[in-house]
Structure 1
Amino acid sequence: MTETPQSPARPEGAGRHRFESGLDRTPANYVPLTPASLLARAAAAVPGRVAVIDGDRRLTYADLYVRCRRLASALAARGVGTLDTVAILAPNVTEMIEAHFAVPMLGAVLNPLNTRLDPATIAFSLAHGDARVLIVEAECAPLAARALADLAQPVLVVAIGETGLDGAIPYEALLEAGDPDHAWAGPADEWQSLCLLYTSGTTGDPKGAVYSHRGAYLQALGNAVTFGLTAESVYLWTLPMFHCSGWSYPWASVAACATQVCLRKVEPSAIFRLIARHGVTHLCGAPIVLSMLAHAPASDRTAFPQRVRCAVGGAAPSSTIIRTMEELGFQVTHLYGATESYGPATVCLAQPDWAELSDADRYARMARQGVPLATLEAVAVVDPAGGEPVPRDGAAVGEIVLRGNTVMKGYLGNPDATERALDGGWYRTGDLAVWHPDGSVEIKDRAKDIIISGGENISSLEVEEVLMRHPAVMLAAVVARPDATWGESPCAFLEMKPGAMIPSDQEVIAFCRDRLARFKVPKTVVFGALPKTSTGKIQKFVLRDQARAL
């Protein structure tokens, strides 16, 4: 009788297939994947190689590993254990990289916080994530102080530099108390939660996307392969590390034994200077970064001999930007993804025949969102209603869906949102696209209520809710307006209450600035009756057309 192949999960004993019986997982042949092991390997392989450059600071891989082990040990001594949340509020500094390895070593959960958000949202994130520790860099101390004042639960505060926060433990003192030979164990299960990343989505309160050790490890390898990172690479941090854990590049750079160069603030002159000084080979960013570099005055530019690979996510850069970047010595690669997919999920891979195309046709191909990373199982474009794949004809529009190990576990404490997002065995992105014959996808429209400005997601509902608080406003609708600098910016259409005194544009903007993070504030305000359907629903598609025409 022919034996039937059995699942690897089937218990040992009679009836197991001979390719399973006696061939079991042991410590010799199975270790749960975790990005923390990538640092252990790099420290053993290239201990003297420079791992991090942060201003005048230089850390070798041996130095970085010791500091991460010290941090893990010191946090453990303070009571931080498996699945406890450690939040960090900081710009792109060395300590952000260290947190991405030390916290996973503990089996705890890292929560990088967006430094551009308002105190109330930071406080919500800390409370919702049940943070035990908050690491704060001095630059972010005022924001942290206001958020902590609104927080009911006690949080251990660790200060990077002089923060002035009451009761804060100095970061370096904490490290000194840690064991440089700390024997970290990592997760018992690679599905264990590793990171908590909040995304505003389309509703008021942020949703916390949860990453696993397995997903982060695989995304690191996928990024390294896709972007061509090697031990000779020098990666410049123009992308905020709080955004999707820096698209998983803290782990990807270490996987390749590359050098990471920290940058606190995106400034063209600093970027050009660091590229030339440190021989930078790779950087990532939102379209705004490319725009800033392309439009930088000659006085801000520093020449460099190498070709710099530049990955851009979000809205596709214009042909003018791509042409200028190529002339300046950059090779542009278009990526697509989301917080829910650990950052990049697809890449626009250049094809050999592109060299024969005109510049206009080549730039059009480069604007596509492309094909899956090697570590993503699949991408598809499907009918949003039925879930069936659309024809690969470059014309039929459907929703982009993703599947694989580098899709989030779900949203923390939000089973309904998780079920909607992972419906039917796929992650539903909400982005509308066409599918080309070569397998590449190309976005045609974004989820209707999302505005992507400078790489940040803005919920139109959140902005509308604030506008409706204005005493003169009766109805508010916010849509995306094309923005040469930010890609998109919020445009507010306001229908005023009868007899109300109409405020000026600047008064409305100031009203919002007091209640929203700066990047969420409308840059354009239009007054007048809003177009509605017969049932009273505001016709946003009409407003989008009007916003594009302004």
Structure 2
Amino acid sequence: MDASVNPFARGLDKNTANYAPLSPLSFLARAADVFPDTVAIVHGRQRTDYRTFYRRARQLGSALTRLGIGKNDTVSVMLSNVPPMLEAHYGVPMAGAVLHSMNTRLDAAIIAFQLDHADCKVLITDREYAPVVKEALSIATVTPTVIDFSDTEFPQEGERLGSLDYEEFVQSGDPDFAWSLPDDEWDAIALNYTSGTTGNPKGVVYHHRGAYLLAQANVITASMAKHPVYLWTLPMFHCNGWCFPWSLSLVAGTHVCLRWVRPQTMWDLIADEGVTHLCGAPIIMSTLLNAAPEHKRDLDREVEFFTAAAPPPESVLAAMKTAGFNVTHLYGLTEVYGPAVVNDWKVEWNDLPLAEQAQKKARQGVRYVALEGLTVLDPETLEPVPADGETLGEVMFRGNVVMKGYLKNPEATEKAFKGGWFHSGDLGVLHPDGYVQLKDRSKDIIISGGENISSIEVEEVLYKHADVQAAAVVAKPDEKWGETPCAFVELKDGSTVSEADLIAFCRQHLASFKAPKTVVFCELPKTSTGKIQKFALREQAKAL
């Protein structure tokens, strides 16, 4: 309807009084205004309040601006779960730039690819990762300004790679830096790379609006009251820590940093810091439960634990409950800002036998409050599958917490959004009550310790070995890691190569967590056209 005819359009335009772009940056400003003395960050003996957190974020944004960083420039970080990582989640976008968090377990070649593809202008790197970052910089074609972080609480011996020290750089910035919200809430705030299934990984672009909405949805989903205490067992490089670096500012919560995942440290921090929430893959549960008896602590409260990846088995759920944790199952992908599906638990399910409760917990669940659409469709026709818990289809998403798209990859973006839905590539079923459950991964992604591993990437390395005739990699269930890569290999005639030899070879060409943990020598099952039957290998891997 023409504005001259429609009374709700005439004279009712957006203006600075009634509209501001949505951005999670506003959460920190509010927390500093309302709760300036509340502890925002705990790191070793360091305690940082919200007044200081906000000041340091502004100083970082100011220092980056003085360095010439501006809108749509990429600032890469190679950091563990330390305070500078939290500061970067605010300071980098305050300068108008895009935050690119890198997996600290990656090998130099992939790091170099990401730096080049992202056109990195500044790299903030922890001295712990100096060897691999130094190698990556020697491979990359970009020459970013390198800023070294020296952790005074947990000193590292890695060499300095740049001419700038992180602390000195932050202190050079203006604490009253006049940052502003983005011009458009659709502006990019973060860049995260997926594990590539074919070729190089894809760069997933997040916008301010999506980060704002998922951060709020986390607070609702996790039932976070004012001032929760959150332990950083989840890597912040993984989907921007599922957006929790922004969520905590909403409720003036405390970030308890964790440089390394170690059982005694986790138990001590949970007990001594009054931790109320934590997230992580099944490996975190295993680490807590398998800690030495003398390292475990009695808890005076129930702690909320949110897990993704492989569903936890009944025995683990029962053990976590006994230890004082309430486990909630989440599901998502890098392309949907991390978790966008939750196994919303219903009170009446508490009366079910434990085995049936475990069956319910194994389902991925229903959409987050910030997600407009979640369903299972036939990937060819885009027609809904019957909600019978049996008919297989592809899990698809729609809404404001779906990525902008893949950086510099319009073909992949168009394919991912075909038909007006984001195609996850995950195969699942829809139950009669509307809950989604995954059954397989169409892209053969292996989720180990919460990290995605491309089976194709591992296979490509195996094929480079002179003695390998054919290879296929599938997921093998693992109590500790959820899943691990299992390689089935046909050797060339006369070969005497061993399982240990092939694993060592893979470790030379891949990040160690991507290397197979198991190698089985056999004749690979194939179809009449020569295609390897991975479904048969998955069954073999389960039986191992």
- TM-score strictly above 0.5: yes
Conservation of the 8 A alpha-carbon contact between 1:145 and 1:165: no
Aligned partners of 1:188 and 1:179: how far apart in 2? 22
Cα contact 1:209–1:408 (8 A) shared by 2: yes
2:98 corresponds in structure 1 to: 109
Asked whether 1:294 is paired with 2:289, we answer yes
Partner of 2:533: 539
One-letter amino acid of the counterpart of residue 86, structure 1:
V
What letter corresponds to residue 183 of structure 2 in structure 1? A
SS in 2 for 1:512: helix
Counterparts of residues 117-136 of structure 1 (less than 5 Å)? 117-136=106-125
Of the candidates 204, 212, 221, which is equivalent to residue 207 of structure 2?
A: 212
**More divergent stretch after superposition (229-238 vs 157-166):** 157-166
Post-superposition CA distance 1:29-64 (Å, at most 9, x none) = 100111111101111111110011011111110000
| Aligned alpha-carbon RMSD (Å) | 1.2
Task: Please tell me the residue identity of whatever aligns with 1:147.
Answer: A
Question: CA offsets per residue over residues 169-227 of structure 1, 9 Å max, x none?
Answer: 00111111100000001210000011000011412311110000000000100111110
Aligned residue identity for 1:397: L
Letter in 2 for 1:403: R
Residues 323, 166 of structure 1: alpha-carbon distance in 2 compared, 3 angstrom cutoff = closer
- Give 1:350 shift: 1.1
Q: State the alpha-carbon separation in 2 of the partners of residues 88 and 232 from structure 1.
A: 28
Query: Partner letter of residue 530 of structure 2?
Result: G
Please give the secondary structure, in 1, of the residue aligned with 2:509.
coil
User: What is the distance in 1 between the residues matched to 2:440 and 2:107?
Assistant: 28
1:21 corresponds, among 2, 10, 35, to 10
2:299 equivalent in structure 1: 304
SS in 2 for 1:230: coil
Percent of matched pairs sharing the same residue: 53
Question: Distance between the aligned counterparts of 1:235 and 1:144, measured in 2?
Answer: 29
1:74 corresponds in structure 2 to: 63
User: What is aligned with 2:513?
Assistant: 519
Q: 1:409 aligns with which of 393, 404, 411?
A: 404
What does the per-residue CA deviation read over 1:284-305, in whole Å, with 9 as the maximum and x for residues that have no partner? 0011111221222212212220
**Distance (Å, rounded) in 2 between the aligned partners of 1:428 and 1:419:** 10
Query: Which one is further off, 376-385 or 391-400?
Result: 391-400
Contact 2:196 2:457 in 1 (8 A): no
Q: Is 2:474 aligned against 1:476?
A: no
Map of 1:228-247 to 2, 5 A cutoff? 228-247=223-242
Partner secondary structure for residue 218 of structure 2: helix
Shift of 1:448: 4.3
Matched, 1:145 2:140: no
Say if 2:454 is the partner of 1:459. Answer: yes
Q: Which residue of 2 aligns with 1:30?
A: 19
Give the conservation status (yes or no) of the 8 Å contact 2:427–2:439. Answer: yes
Alignment-derived partner of residue 506 in structure 1: 500
Please say which of residues 522-531 and 59-68 is displaced more in the overlay: 522-531
Q: Give the letter for the 1:526 counterpart.
A: V
Whole-angstrom CA distance in 2 between matches of 1:166 and 1:479: 38
**TM-score scaled by structure 1?**
0.96
- Where in structure 1 are there 5+ consecutive unaligned residues? 7-12
2: CA distance, partners of 1:43 / 1:324: 39
In the alignment, does 2:212 pair up with 1:223?
Answer: no
Q: Contact 1:272–1:303 (CA<8 Å) still a contact in 2?
A: no
Opposite residue 386 of structure 1, the aligned amino acid is T
Rounded to whole Å, the distance in 1 between the matches of 2:162 and 2:341 is: 45
* Matched residue SS, 2:76: strand
1:40 to 25, 29, 49: 29
Q: d(CA) in 1 for partners of 2:462 and 2:90? A: 41
| Residue identity matched to 1:131 | C
8 Å CA contact 1:244–1:343 kept in 2: the answer is yes
Distance 1:201 1:317 in 2: 26
Cα deviation, 1:349-387, whole Å, max 9, x if unaligned, reads 111211221111112111111111111111001112211
For residues 360 and 200 of structure 2, the distance between their equivalents in structure 1, rounded to whole angstroms, comes to: 37
Amino acid at match of 1:396: T
CA contact (8 A) 2:134 2:161 kept: no
Partner amino acid, structure 1, of 2:354: D
2 CA distance for matches of 1:113 and 1:41? 28
Give 1:445's aligned residue.
440
Which residue pairs with 1:262 in the alignment?
A: 257
Cα pair 2:115 2:142 within 8 Å, conserved: no
Q: In the TM superposition, what is the alpha-carbon distance from 1:166 to its structure 2 partner?
A: 3.9
**Paired residues, number:** 538
| Cα distance, 1:164 vs structure 2 | 2.3
Given residue 523 of structure 1, which amino acid in structure 2 is its aligned partner?
A: K
Distance in 2 between residues matched to 1:197 and 1:138, nearest whole Å: 22
What CA deviation, in whole Å up to 9, does each residue of 1:467-516 have, x standing for no partner?
011111111111111111111111111112233x2201101111111110
Q: Does the CA contact (< 8 Å) of 1:402 and 1:427 recur in 2?
A: yes
Please list, as runs of the form range in 1=range in 2, the aligned pairs for 1:480-495 lying within 5 A after superposition: 480-495=475-490
Q: Distance in 1 between matches of 2:434 and 2:528?
A: 41
The 3-state SS of whatever aligns with 1:514 is helix
2:78 match? 89
Matched AA of 2:499: D
What is the match of residue 436 of structure 1?
431
**CA offsets 1:237-258 (integer angstroms, 9 cap, x no match):** 0000000000000001111211
Residues in 1 aligned to 2:122 and 2:337: alpha-carbon distance in whole angstroms? 23
Deviates more, 1:228-237 or 1:124-133: 228-237
CA distance in 1, matches of 2:514, 2:420: 33
Distance 1:168 1:330 in 2: 45
Unaligned runs of 5+ in 2: 151-155
Does the 8 Å contact 2:127/2:160 carry over to 1? Answer: no
| C-alpha displacement of 1:464 | 0.7
Separation in structure 2 between the aligned mates of residue 118 and residue 283 of structure 1, nearest angstrom: 28
Match of 1:351 in 2: 346
The one-letter amino acid of 2:54's match is Y
- 3-state secondary structure, aligned to 1:462: helix
C-alpha separation in 1, matches of 2:452 and 2:109: 17
> Which amino acid in structure 2 is aligned with residue 419 of structure 1?
E
The 3-state SS of whatever aligns with 1:375 is coil
CA distance in 1 between partners of 2:188 and 2:286 (Å): 36
Check the 8 A contact 1:348/1:371 in 2, yes or no: yes
Q: Following TM superposition, by how much is the alpha carbon of 1:421 offset from its aligned partner in structure 2, in angstroms?
A: 1.3
Given the superposition, is the C-alpha separation of residues 166 and 240 from structure 1 closer, same or farther in structure 2, using an over 3 Å criterion? closer
The residue number in structure 2 matching 1:9 is none
CA distance in 1, matches of 2:463, 2:202: 23
Contact 2:329 2:342 (8 Å CA) reproduced: yes
Q: Which segment drifts farther, 83-92 or 418-427?
A: 418-427
Q: 2:178 aligns with which of 177, 183, 206?
A: 183
What are the superposed Cα offsets for residues 422-446 of structure 1, whole Å, 9 maximum, x if unpaired? 1111111111111122211111222
Q: CA deviation at 1:306?
A: 1.1
Q: Distance in 2 between matches of 1:346 and 1:478?
A: 28
Once residues 433 and 529 of structure 1 are traced to their aligned partners in structure 2, the CA distance between those partners, rounded to angstroms, is 30
CA displacement at 1:167 relative to structure 2? 3.2
Aligned AA (1:18): P
Q: Distance in 2 between matches of 1:410 and 1:323?
A: 40
CA–CA separation in structure 2 for the residues paired with 1:455 and 1:533: 32
